[in-house]
Structure 1
Amino acid sequence: MSRHCLALSGAAALLLTAGPAAAQTGAAVSDPQRAMLWFLLSTLVLVLLVFLLLFVALISWMRPQLRQLYNLPTVHDTWSGRVLGLLVGDARLVKGEVRDELLDHNYDGIHEFDNDLPPWWKYGFYLTIVFAIGYVGYYHVLKTGQLQGAEYAAEMQQAALLVASTPDDPNQLTTYTVLTAPADLSTGKSLFATNCAPCHGANAEGKVGPNLTDEYWLHGGEVNHVYKTVKYGVNGKGMVAWKGKLSGKQILQVTSYVLSLQGSKPANAKPPQGEKEAPAVAKR
């Protein structure tokens, strides 16, 4: 019976571990495999229930012999004897020794009874004391472990290492300055008319996208913030990323042209959106 149970457990574990691997490779589990898995699991549960019933029947059959063994003075008060007592109906291990013992004093006719705390509760309480001493010693006395603040700082530092510090890192702000050469602004205007005007309007007055000529910005109005918005877009807001479609210089030319429109007050301008901000000029 035990060999059969181990064989079923091994087969079930094999199928359970094979499931995630198949999912990672994109393979779907077929209906026959799923049916076999449920059959094996059901059989395993049935075998465990049979073992449990056999164990209960064996304890019931051997209870007189267990009771005699439990009543032996050398066994009754030992820890193993208390465990044995659970099998013969003595719950001292769970409920304690003293139950409803009448004390020798009363108050206004009210009698007081004494009861042991459940042993499992007392041992659990002692365990919390040991844990507290170990915790204070490990973290605060020896200072071997990291407290929450130090753990947070270490995790943030590790996360920062996972972000590549490259020009394509969206978390690394550039240090560009606004282009003012007529040729750059002319190119920026042409690129804006081709790529940006459908959403922001021919004069950047705003259509689907926001008005770009006022002092209000949703994602920052400084040249490097606008550059970042144009390059990487804004997920979920309709602003597409122009990285890979425009070169870095072209993005800077569009950015510079947009900032040159500040205060132009075009007709039919869209109401302000975002926070009021005066665009700052970054130094190289």
Structure 2
Amino acid sequence: MKFRFPAALNIAALLLTSLQAVAQTPEAAAPAKAAGMSSQQIMFWVLISLLIFLLLVLLLSFVGIAVQMRPQLRKVYELPTVRHSWSGRVLGLLVGDATLVKGEVRDELLDHDYDGIHEFDNDLPPWWKYSFYATIIFAVTYVGYYHVAQAGQLQGAEYETEMRQAALLVSPDADDPNKLTTYQPLATPADLSEGKSLFASNCAACHGQNAEGKVGPNLTDEYWLHGGEVNHVYKTVKFGVTSKGMVAWKGKLSGKQILQVSSYILSLQGTKPAGAKEPQGEKETAGKPVVKL
């Protein structure tokens, strides 16, 4: 098996020249435009493919030369002045000796044993030590870059930046959790009655029949975890708070029904039901809907 590297280069050069000539002809340019690629893009990918081809040729040539010269390389490797040198260990990889990676195993027992268990005096394999050294270099570089020079963002700051960028991409419509609505509390008896029915069938299991609080917080006092104004309550009911077990009622209740429930909740302010749960959150006086009879 003989590889002629100059001949391979000549073939590659002729191939490149012919491809350039083909790419410049109108017949070749028409399919390129039809496919949406310019002639420069075609030439780029042709050159990349040619580079990969040349690298494969070089690799095959190197392997072929190493295989043909393996007996001569073995004789050079067996020389005492070569075998134990760094270049000799690299040469050993070509002739099948992986000492550079695996290390040398010495069957030498240490002069102590524990319950009949003997210990060999072997070093750690080079691949393990190289990996350990790489982790040390990485750790020093990481600390210097992020903590000393402060050239990069830590995970917390990076997360906040990504969240701010994501907020800019959210569509500003009614389904945007970052955009607060501008509703007014419903105050008619019909709306509050409907809100009461919806509350009893959907919310009472967690907040109690009188909103005194069970698993969820008490909704009749002046303390709120996520805001006590009607639009904050509306947002909490619609989108939920999954981290605290509050489910999102979006898709289960209509916008009108969510506003009716929110208005009914605000109408319960100051009712002081029996067995009310202790206050949670921050104090906030919410405007109660005024029922117009």
* TM bucket, shorter chain: 0.3 to 0.5
TM-score scaled to structure 1, two decimals? Answer: 0.44
TM-score scaled to structure 2, two decimals? Answer: 0.43
